[in-house]
Amino acid sequence: MKNYDPKRKIIITFVFLLILIFYTFLVFSKISSTDSHKYAVDYEKIEKKIDDYSKQKESFKNLDEFEEGINLLNFDGVSLSAFDTSDNNSESNEEIYFKNLNVKVIFRLNKNYYWKQSTLGTTEQSHIYQITIDKRIIVEKTEIEKELNEIISDIDYEQALSSAWIKNQIKTSEKSNLNVWYILNVSIIDKDDKENQNLNQENFEIKITIGLRKSYKWLETGNQENLTFEFTNNIYILKNKIDLFDEIVDIKKFFKSKTIKSYEDLENITKEKNNEKTNYKIDLLSKNETINKEYIVELQLSLNDGFEWKIGDELSKAEITLNFTINNLEEGEK
């Protein structure tokens, strides 16, 4: 068995302590060296870059987006926070989609950084910026124009042709997105197109002026200005529909206003009335008999090509036979 050597144990312990002290000294020396190294930050340069950023961006959806954006500019040694300092005292509960804010940005230095401007030292700095908060949803002019075009293409202009009527048709259409836009004005203009004018139809141009709801803005301008859309294609009224009731009243009135003494008179009067008409023909079917107070005039109304009778809500191309009694002989005639 080996003899216990107390001196050897003391030496080993002493060496271990020296190594531990030396290691600890190295660690603290490194930390001390790191802590003593300081970095300068140019406050004025950062302030200007944030100012440029806020102007170039034009608007932000909210304050958080602005704060996130300025921190993404990656300024070494500085942490940034943004606070709304605007006077937001309002009795209205209505949501504001577009407003200007006075925003206070706090500049906080990280450890081992100081301001290049000697008068500032290492104190927290702040600056007020004015930014625009814009929550409005973007709307494309071409999309609204397409939407309106589909709506007016569905309108039956034969029923009525007035600004008020068309405006009501647009407002009641299932295709109208009235939570996005609203109608300000509708105007109807005769379309002067003589070279291509179809004789059987009357063409029109429709102008529709609309405004946007508060929560929307135009993509093209970023604003909410009222816009007027013009539509010219396939907007017309057919002139080939003839109201049969009106024509019958007119024909009877015409014949009853004439003095008819003979069948020849009746033929001439029929020809006279027929010459007035360009959309249908009148033929005399009555027999060549002596004219008396009980004489029945029989006429046939035949449409020219491209025309239709309007009978109430229905249309027809049939030949119409018209019978009525004439009693307009001169006094004393039989």
Contact 307, 279 (CB under 8 A): yes
Nearest to 278 by CA among 298, 251, 307: 307
pLDDT < 70 positions in the chain? 1-9, 14, 22, 25-36, 88-94, 192-200, 238, 327-334
How far apart CA 213 and CA 182 sit, in angstroms, is 7
Place of tokens 């009746």: 266
The domain made up of 139-238 has a fold known as: Nuclear Transport Factor 2; Chain: A, (3.10.450)
Note the pTM of the prediction, 2 decimals. Answer: 0.58
Instruction: Specify the pLDDT at position 1.
Output: 45
Instruction: Specify the pLDDT at position 294.
Output: 77
Instruction: Specify the pLDDT at position 107.
Output: 96
Contact 324, 255 (CB under 8 A): yes
- The residues spanned by each domain of the chain are 39-86+97-135, 139-238, 241-325
Structure tokens given for 324: 């009525």
What are the pLDDT digits (tens) for 172-218?
999 999 999 999 999 998 876 655 555 567 788 999 999 999 999 99
What is the maximum span of the chain, computed from C-alpha positions, in angstroms?
176
Rounded to 5°, angle at Cα 199 from 195 and 204:
75
